[in-house]
Structure 1
Amino acid sequence: MTILQSLDGYYGRMAARGEAERPGFSREKISFVVVLSGDGTPLDVLDIRAPSGKKLQPVLREVPAAVKRASNILANRFWDKTAYVLGRTAGPDHRTSREHAAFKALHRDLLAGATDEGLVALLRFLGQWQPSAFDAAPFRSEMLDANIVFRLEGEPGFVHEREAARTLLAAADTTSRAEGEICLVTGTRGAVQRLHPSIKGVQGAQSSGAALVSFNRDAFTSLGKEQGANAPTSETAAFQYGAALNRMLDRSSRNRLSRPIGDATVAFWADTSATVSEEAAVAAEALFFEIVEPQPTDDDAQETAKLGDALSKVAAGRPQEARPALRPGTRFHVLGLSPNAARLSVRYWLDDTFEAFAQRLLDHQRDLCLEPPPKGWGRKTPSVSRLLAKTMALQEKFDNIPPLLAGEVMRAVLGGTRYPRTWLGAALIRLRAGDDPSTGWHAAAIRAVLERDRRRSPDAERTQEIPVSLAKDFDDPAYQLGRLFAALETAQRLALGRVNATIRDRYFGAASATPAIVFPLLLRGVQNHIGKLRKDHKDGWIEREIGEIVDRLPAALPRSLKLEAQGRFAIGFYHQRQAQFAKRPDVAATLDTQDIEPEEGETNDNV
């Protein structure tokens, strides 16, 4: 099933719920209502914005469908921004007079001969309105550039909602083309949509909307066709897919992730069918949202266990045991959209059964599994966006996540394919740049990449699983070298206490890439630290730990480690760092207090 076909089907779900916009209408952000008397005099201005935090925000209202302007001057019917409706704007006004004239001309033609009281009032208002009247009450400066609709005095609805207005709009939208062409979405014959609807709600795209389907160069056309005729989509199908996608991309929608993955805004939905009801589709969407974007709860442990159990049952083909409303075979879709000037790019489109998505999410959780969990991980597997910010973004800022790599990771999570090798490289680069490997976030990402590669390799049964927790007997030099590096750093910290920079700060990158060069230096240096510990009559457990690890290393250390081996080094470091204090909480607490930064002017650069 294609993207547009699935969205066209979702519109059917909206219509069944009574939530679908009528053909020829769209939901737009409206801020103010101008109340007119019967003779067209503006009596009042109603502010219908809703509070959001400390600000008032426009509300979504169903109005006649917005025109696609680009750089042209085109007016909307019965509503628009103040430059068109009132001839006033807060910005440069070099074209405001033409915009206002276009709004007046459109409605003179549209309302000519109208007898309805509300339509006559609007026509009279436009006939007598002068932009200079905006400087007097009831108008105010905060209205500038906001969208405005009209209401007749004493009437509850808007002018465009009156039966006479609907009749006029329907007549104006009637096409003279009786047959049209075959629609590529529905397979039926109908009038072809020349310009496809604007899609709003994609973060980073134009606020006025961007096109999912468009043709703006001769190179994209064929056989002498123009615009939408190159990929015929009926006006009905175009309206329905646009209405469905815009509804799912609303900020308040439960069919989108609240935070983009990289630069991709993610929408998801389920199909209904003869065996899958609306209730079952909603249950699938709710469970997907809970797992992909987990929310903090009062009892995270219990909630995590419930979600994990539900995911396992769905993946095993028993969805009704997880949620009574779920049904097997529910078709599920995930769409990632990225901004691209006035258009949208499809970052990924995934279409499969809900059971298949559940199995892939379960695999993702298992590949990331690390014991003990990374610092700040929580009991639930973090969202993909948070995971990427922690492992590859400068200063852990979401805006710094590489968009292409984020799309590849999300596609791998939901598609069950190998994670991109670049994620492994990005995590290691961040560790070399100074990210703390002891937090465990990078180690979890690295383990996920390596473990999935191992499982999907032809000789998976003959290779060892990447350890989840400390595995002293894991037969891999890079892993053991990571353990040794963690033990050497601990010896330094135990002997010297508070220092400006430990060996981890200075040598982590070099030790993981060229161990044969760095470790001889570190092993000589640690003798001084061990000597000091002996002199101070401190517990010699760390000396025994170092000796045990060294005994597992080959006689000749590797001169260099490949990218995958550097990843196992980071995992070994994390496991050793966490496990060596598992039975020594008093020592861990002492070292934590020693990590306090020294006072200004105080130095201790011992290695």
Structure 2
Amino acid sequence: MLITQLAARGSGNRPHYHRDRAVRWVISIDTAGTASLLDRRTGDHRAGSLISVPYLVRAGQKPPPMLLVDTAEYVFGIAKDDSDKAHTTAQTRNDDYLALLQQWAESSSDPVARQVSEFFSDEGHLKLLNHLDDATEAELSVSDLVGVMIDGAWAHQRPSAIAFWVQVARARKSSGAEGLCLSCGTAGPLLKTIPDMVKGRLIPVGVDSHGRPKQGRDAALVSINTAAQGRMGAVQLVNTPVCEDCGATVMTALNDLLADPDQRRRGEDTVFTWWLRVPADTSWMDLDTPNREAVEKLLRQPHIGRPRPAGNQHDSEADEQDELDSANQFYALTLSANQSRVIVRDWIDVPVRRIKQRLADWFRDHQSTQPWEDGLHYVPLWAMVQASGRWDRHRKRYVAGSAAHGIEKDLLRCALHGGAPPPHLMAGLLHRIRNDHHVDLARVATLRLCVNRPPYRHSPEKETIMPGLDETATDPAYVWGRMFAVLETIQRTAIPDINTTIRDRYFTVAMTQPATTMRRLRSNANSHLKKLTGKDSTKPAGIALDRKLVQLTALLDRADGMPEHLDNLGQTQFIFGYDHQRAADLAAMREARSDKENAAAALTC
């Protein structure tokens, strides 16, 4: 289960009940007892750099203090405003903070604990506050975190402080009951509530009207506050018994994962994170910047999730990796937030071999050629998401915020679980293309994924659409797409400075009514070919293009010919044919140019 695997991952070297927080101010006390207030703000860290400090989730009417590192309201007694209530609250919180320091000093023989307690008991913090210059006083905010240093060392990092804080935290969070931990299976004291929350900045909660990310709240992984939420009216962790070690370790591990850019993928309102039972390289999980070499290595890895063919031999390195993947386990979690609660959108627990097979299938099912560069290309998931939106032909980019709603989550799930894209994706993409006539790698790859994984297909045996030009394909819609690309080339060759091409004028109707459009464009092409073949300079090109049209026409069935109308699948095949033919023609041009340059270079040598 999720909590068990997060607890098993561990929390590194961080003590229980600690969290990385930005500490802005430091009360620095030297050996002579002289104190000064230091500002830790830097150009890169406006609120101070992160440091592991004592932390517990606190709530209620009288939230208790943290040990040594807390807000200026607790440390100095600074009120939030000038009201009597605010001043009374600040004084109460400062008294609680001082009492906690006194308890630390009384429970320990650590001289630093006594020194800190005596400093605050003698009102050293108030004297320090009263002698601040105007600039520092203006900068000091009631919500800023303040820590304490003795002779240049953090007081809260003393072994006595860590041990004391664990005792305090245990007393605050313990349910007072003993039982069997649901995570580790051991008997002992159980927690009342999870001691930490997921940091608000780690789970996206969407964007505002200006397209800027919203700031979320800290959110609880397990939160049962009322009887209506719990099973049989039980609240808090009664139905999710967790021991202290597991509760602290789970949240530390989860926050560490969500904060690691190499172990997470942030969406608009969700975050996806992953880890392995036995830590290993997971660069193959990069869906947003797929590296061709890494993807092809993944595609070449034998037997990912498949039985080994009889008599097939493989090198020892591949076999060794295959065995490691079979023995290792992959875990992944997709989270979103609703106010102060975490929502688990997806949980994956599969062998590494299986997730690698799913990702290999993902790349294999959408890989495509493109006109501007040779070879097969793998499209970032974010680019597929954008491709479902509107194309701005003037700015030459997709309109921000116009992508299909929820498509990012759908495609991510498709990649991770190996299922089909949502049925509306193909129809939506075709609608966009008919409106803006824009065909690029991302749209072609997404359409290829839709065709290779139709929602109605349940058989593991499937007919894969070729990623590049298929010169033997006789599907009328595919052939018509190829013909349209050739007809466009004929027009451009005959009229090099043309402003409006047949793609601009006829692409939409060509996608839906091929027979009528073909007759009209074929008639126009005859005049262009006559013009080309009538000049010595363009005659070879005219003959080659005419021959290409004849060859493509021969692929059509004589009886059925070109259909009058195309459905969604037919329109998709048309786009494939058009894009593949363009890519093949430009690749041939690049090859011919390269051969010519190489021949010229050889003559000069």
**TM-score category, normalised to shorter length:** 0.7 to 0.9
- Structure number with bigger Rg: 2
Partners of 2:52 and 2:414 in 1: CA distance: 38
Distance 1:491 1:20, change over 3 A: same
Distance 1:582 1:165, change over 3 A: closer
The aligned residue for residue 385 of structure 1 is 382
- In the TM superposition, what is the alpha-carbon distance from 1:242 to its structure 2 partner? 0.6
- In the TM superposition, what is the alpha-carbon distance from 1:407 to its structure 2 partner? 1.6
The aligned residue for residue 159 of structure 1 is 155
- In the TM superposition, what is the alpha-carbon distance from 1:402 to its structure 2 partner? 4.7
Match of 2:269 among 233, 252, 263: 263
Match of 1:330 among 328, 333, 353: 328
Match of 1:409 among 398, 408, 411: 411
Partners of 2:347 and 2:50 in 1: CA distance: 28
Matches within 5 A, 1:100-119: 100-112=90-102, 114=105, 116-119=114-117
Q: Is the 8 A contact 2:24 2:145 kept in 1?
A: yes
Matches within 5 A, 1:278-357: 281-283=278-280, 285-289=281-285, 292=287, 294=289, 306=297, 308-309=299-300, 311-312=301-302, 321-322=317-318, 326=324, 328-357=326-355
Partners of 1:206 and 1:69 in 2: CA distance: 20
Distance 1:561 1:588, change over 3 A: farther
- In the TM superposition, what is the alpha-carbon distance from 1:25 to its structure 2 partner? 1.9
Does residue 61 of the first structure (1) align with residue 44 of the second (2)? Answer: no
Amino acid at match of 2:576: I
Distance 1:203 1:174, change over 3 A: closer
Distance 1:351 1:126, change over 3 A: farther
Q: In structure 2, the residue corresponding to 1:269 is in which secondary structure? A: strand
Match of 2:584 among 579, 584, 587: 579
Q: Is the 8 A contact 1:515 1:560 kept in 2?
A: yes
- In the TM superposition, what is the alpha-carbon distance from 1:575 to its structure 2 partner? 0.7
Q: Is the 8 A contact 1:214 1:227 kept in 2?
A: yes
Does residue 485 of the first structure (1) align with residue 484 of the second (2)? Answer: yes
Amino acid at match of 1:159: A
Q: Gaps spanning 5+ residues in structure 1: where?
A: 272-280, 590-607
Q: Is the 8 A contact 1:517 1:559 kept in 2?
A: yes
Q: Is the 8 A contact 1:111 1:123 kept in 2?
A: no
Partners of 2:58 and 2:236 in 1: CA distance: 13
Cα deviations across residues 140-197 of structure 1 (Å, max 9, x unaligned)?
Answer: 6277744321112x142x2222344334423323447553454433344432333563
Q: In structure 1, the residue corresponding to 2:149 is in which secondary structure? A: strand
Greater Cα shift, 533-542 or 242-251: 533-542
Q: Is the 8 A contact 1:386 1:398 kept in 2?
A: no
Distance 1:85 1:579, change over 3 A: same
Distance 1:529 1:547, change over 3 A: same
Q: In structure 2, the residue corresponding to 1:220 is in which secondary structure? A: coil
Partners of 1:72 and 1:560 in 2: CA distance: 72
Q: Is the 8 A contact 1:488 1:522 kept in 2?
A: yes
Q: Percent identity?
A: 23
Q: Is the 8 A contact 1:206 1:341 kept in 2?
A: no
Match of 1:560 among 562, 565, 574: 565
Q: In structure 2, the residue corresponding to 1:345 is in which secondary structure? A: strand
Cα deviations across residues 516-547 of structure 1 (Å, max 9, x unaligned)?
Answer: 45444434443443344344553222233233
Amino acid at match of 1:388: V
The aligned residue for residue 171 of structure 1 is 167
TM-score, normalising length from structure 2?
Answer: 0.78
Does residue 419 of the first structure (1) align with residue 421 of the second (2)? Answer: yes
Q: In structure 1, the residue corresponding to 2:22 is in which secondary structure? A: strand
Cα deviations across residues 325-359 of structure 1 (Å, max 9, x unaligned)?
Answer: 84532011121223433333333222100111111
The aligned residue for residue 369 of structure 1 is 367
The aligned residue for residue 592 of structure 1 is none
Q: Is the 8 A contact 2:196 2:251 kept in 1?
A: yes
Greater Cα shift, 579-588 or 552-561: 579-588
Distance 1:93 1:575, change over 3 A: farther
Q: In structure 1, the residue corresponding to 2:247 is in which secondary structure? A: helix
Partners of 2:124 and 2:565 in 1: CA distance: 78
- In the TM superposition, what is the alpha-carbon distance from 1:7 to its structure 2 partner? 0.6
Q: In structure 2, the residue corresponding to 1:198 is in which secondary structure? A: coil
TM-score, normalising length from structure 1?
Answer: 0.78
Cα deviations across residues 367-412 of structure 1 (Å, max 9, x unaligned)?
Answer: 1232x34657987734423443345576447866556222221122
Matches within 5 A, 1:129-208: 134-136=132-134, 141=139, 145-152=143-150, 154-156=151-153, 158-175=154-171, 178-189=176-187, 190-195=189-194, 197-200=196-199, 201-204=202-205, 206=215, 208=217
Cα deviations across residues 47-77 of structure 1 (Å, max 9, x unaligned)?
Answer: 265x64xx65743322112324499866443
- In the TM superposition, what is the alpha-carbon distance from 1:270 to its structure 2 partner? 0.9
- In the TM superposition, what is the alpha-carbon distance from 1:100 to its structure 2 partner? 3.2
Partners of 2:374 and 2:132 in 1: CA distance: 55
Partners of 1:393 and 1:352 in 2: CA distance: 37
RMSD of aligned Cα (Å)? 4.0
Q: Is the 8 A contact 1:44 1:138 kept in 2?
A: no
Q: Is the 8 A contact 1:3 1:349 kept in 2?
A: yes
Q: Gaps spanning 5+ residues in structure 2: where?
A: 107-113, 206-213, 309-313, 392-396, 595-605
Q: In the comparison of the two structures, how many residue pairs are matched? A: 553
Partners of 2:177 and 2:236 in 1: CA distance: 19
Partners of 2:289 and 2:493 in 1: CA distance: 39
Amino acid at match of 2:493: L
Partners of 1:353 and 1:102 in 2: CA distance: 54
Does residue 358 of the first structure (1) align with residue 347 of the second (2)? Answer: no
The aligned residue for residue 547 of structure 2 is 544
Distance 1:288 1:528, change over 3 A: same
Amino acid at match of 2:487: L
Does residue 31 of the first structure (1) align with residue 21 of the second (2)? Answer: no
Partners of 1:558 and 1:72 in 2: CA distance: 76
Matches within 5 A, 1:39-58: 42-47=35-40, 52=44, 58=48
Partners of 1:335 and 1:403 in 2: CA distance: 21
